[in-house]
Amino acid sequence: MYEHCPHCNFRYEIEPGYFWGAMFVSYALSAGIALVMGFVLFYGFGDPEGWVYVIVIAPLLVLLTPINFRISRVLWLHFVSGVRYNPNL
Ligand SMILES: [Zn+2]
């Protein structure tokens, strides 16, 4: 992640440890993904055994970690710090 915005020079990490809050956003996203996959397995595949849930959901969450990490920071910036996207800057 850039330290400053390449267009408007906005400093992303407003204060030290600013992105700790993004950790909670990341947790919520992961829980949501796990919940949706649990419903898909339950209703779509007729409630398989417990280990199937683990084999499907755990690797999926690990694979999505890089995306989840970035999306969480972007969501944190937009909804907590009040940063608004302005493509004209
Ligand atoms: Zn900018």
From ligand 1's centre to the CA of 7, what distance in Å?
Answer: 5
Interatomic CA distance for residues 12 and 77, integer angstroms: 8
pLDDT digits (tens, 9 = 90+) for 45-89: 999 999 999 999 999 999 999 999 999 998 998 888 777 777 776
Nearest-CA neighbor of 77 among 21, 4, 1, 16? 21
- What pLDDT was estimated at residue 89? 62
pLDDT digits (tens, 9 = 90+) for 29-51: 999 999 999 999 999 999 999 99
From ligand 1's centre to the CA of 10, what distance in Å?
Answer: 5
The ranges assigned to domains in the chain are 20-80
From ligand 1's centre to the CA of 1, what distance in Å?
Answer: 13
Q: Both tokens of residue 70? A: 């970035």
From ligand 1's centre to the CA of 87, what distance in Å?
Answer: 8
Interatomic CA distance for residues 14 and 83, integer angstroms: 11
From ligand 1's centre to the CA of 75, what distance in Å?
Answer: 15
Can you list the alpha helix ranges (DSSP code H) found in the chain?
20-39, 50-63, 65-80
